Chain A
Amino acid sequence: MARGKPKAAAGAGRSVPAIRGRPSRPLEGEDLETKRWEDARHWISIYADLLEFKRGILARVRRDVANLQLPAQKAAATDLKIIDSQMQGYQVRLDLWYRRIWELQGLWVDPTGRVVRHQGKEIALTKREFQLLQFLLDHPHRFFTTSQILGQAWADPALFPEEVRNYVRRLRKILVDLGIPADLVNKPGRGYSLVFRSP
């Protein structure tokens, strides 16, 4: 996505958003400047695998630690902290690669005019449409419940949950109209997520 990097962020496009969390380090051979879409997909899969791996280990450690006596639990808490901090670092890298893949895909998001452009087509969005799209782009491949979207994307938990469903419908149409290779998927119990589709 064009808003993801300073040198590509010309014109009225959104400047680079600060990535929250721990500082992240690239792995050996990783080059975020790549022009190859396949490289971006490759690194996305690596980080997704690493996160899955760490989740598996974290679940295992948490389960086992619960059965230990208190002093041992305290000592084992070090393992949990380390794994958790490494996961945060991987998540930051994964987000960077998603941004990069959007960029390579030719997606441009302009918050000033609330315009989204993709491969020569553009659509102006309403404020809420734009906020929802921007929120989902900033947290790709993660699921958010209706109440999380109300509170985090729009910062207005007083809105009715039906509003989310309404705007999800509208965003899905926008994705189709612009030919953006992503689906706004809904999984029962997990919520909504913007999932990149291989072109």
Chain B
Amino acid sequence: MDKVKPVRGRPDVDAAMRGGDWSQAMDGEGIPGNSTLEHALYWQQIYTEILTMEEKVLDRIRQLMNTQSDEARREVELTNVPVVVAQAERFRQRLGYWDTRIAQLNGNSNHKP
């Protein structure tokens, strides 16, 4: 992930974008490389659900932005969009880890959980 560039004068946005750190796992997630197939499938489902949600939210934001004044649209572009994009990217990346782990486990029947 590229280093997050601070948004000048918007510490709230900076903090939110730091939440998009790909290495940041959810509570109880554990390390994909050490997980069982069942565990990996569970986390794949979790990340699929949340990523779907974030993408829907982003669509809704973009849809609502069309009805906003120029000033309000700029504010939304500065605040909501990068935050949701960063979050979605983090979830997409984490989902990728779990997809890879599942493929690995499915391709290796001798794998010990």
- A57 vs B54: C-alpha distance when bound (angstroms): 11
B40 within 8 A of A: no
Contact A61 B87 (CB under 8 A): no
Contact A57 B12 (CB under 8 A): no
Name the interface size band of chain A: 20 to 34
Name the interface size band of chain B: 35 or more
B74: A residues at CB distance < 8 A: 27-28
The 0/1 profile, CB within 8 Å of A marked 1, for residues 61-99 of chain B is 100110011011011100110011001000100000000
Contact of A49 among B46, B68, B79, B84 (CB under 8 A): B68
Contact of A61 among B9, B10, B27, B57 (CB under 8 A): B57
Contact of B69 among A45, A56, A68 (CB under 8 A): A45
Contact B27 A76 (CB under 8 A): no
Contact A86 B79 (CB under 8 A): yes
A85 within 8 A of B: yes
A125 within 8 A of B: no
Residues of A within 8 A of B (CB): 25, 27-30, 45-46, 49-50, 53, 56-57, 60-61, 64-65, 67-69, 71-72, 74-76, 78-79, 82-83, 85-86, 89
Q: Which 10 pairs, one residue from A and one from B, show the smallest C-beta to C-beta distance?
A: A72-B50, A64-B53, A71-B26, A82-B16, A49-B72, A72-B46, A46-B71, A50-B72, A75-B26, A78-B19
